Structure 1
Amino acid sequence: MQFEFSGTVIEHEGEKASWFFVTLPDDLAQEIARFTKGMRGGWGSVKVDVTIGATSWNTSIFPSGDSFVLPVKKAVRKAEGIGHGSDVEITLSI
């Protein structure tokens, strides 16, 4: 399954580091939840392939409330020049 969507990068500040995420749109999250029921990893994670701009990587999305969040690692943020509040176009494959 492949999805394309837009999202905004948000920063969550922890004690020792900051984490950056994009929350998936509700309709997409519901479709992924149905498709992956019974196939998820630890903490309800779903393995995905992601592309933002010219950068692709493998990661997992994690449940958060009624949606999923996509962590955006530092190397991707640096390569694409994105940070907190950046609007991004995402291609996500399961």
Structure 2
Amino acid sequence: MSDSLSATLPLTRWQGERGTYHLVTFTGPEAKALAGRALMEKLETGRRRGFGSLKVTARIGASEWRTSVFPQKGRSEWILLVSRTVMRAENLAPGEQAEVTLTF
């Protein structure tokens, strides 16, 4: 299994009760790869991380940060939150494509 995963995904704006969030959503083969990685970690450690999340180092352009990706309950999707700091540094706006690399 690879130690990284890359995809070009649209940056989405989501309005929640506590504020506005910006995120990218991994679907299809990328989501399956993340689910497989989460299962492998669960088998290795004997436990699952909070909310089924995976710790990753995320990179968009020159911006890199340590964070987690989260599975969406009942869907084959994984979410990565993108901060406004990263959006400003990479000159990204909602709806634009972002090339995202996750390293495990």
TM-score with structure 2 length normalisation? 0.83
Asked if 1:31 is matched to 2:33, the reply is yes
Greater shift, 51-60 or 22-31, is seen at 22-31
CA apart distance, 1:17: 1.4
CA apart distance, 1:15: 3.1
Greater shift, 44-53 or 28-37, is seen at 28-37
Asked if 1:63 is matched to 2:62, the reply is no
Gaps of 5+ in 1: none
CA apart distance, 1:25: 3.1
Instruction: Tell me if the contact between 1:40 and 1:46 (Cα under 8 Å) persists in the aligned partners.
Output: no
Matches within 5 A, 1:37-56: 37=39, 38=42, 40-56=48-64
Amino acid at match of 2:50: G
Structure 1 equivalent of residue 92 of structure 2: 82
Identity %: 31
CA distance in 2, matches of 1:61, 1:35: 11
Partner deviation per Cα, 1:43-81 (whole Å, 9 max, x = no partner): 111111011011100110001221101110111111111
Aligned positions, number: 94
Question: Higher Cα Rg: structure 1 or 2?
Answer: 2
Gaps of 5+ in 2: none
Partner deviation per Cα, 1:11-59 (whole Å, 9 max, x = no partner): 1112341001101131011122112212541111111101101110011
CA distance in 2, matches of 1:56, 1:86: 18
Q: Which runs of 4+ in 1 moved over 6 A?
A: none
Q: Residue 102 of structure 2: SS of its match in structure 1?
A: strand
CA RMSD of aligned residues (A): 1.3
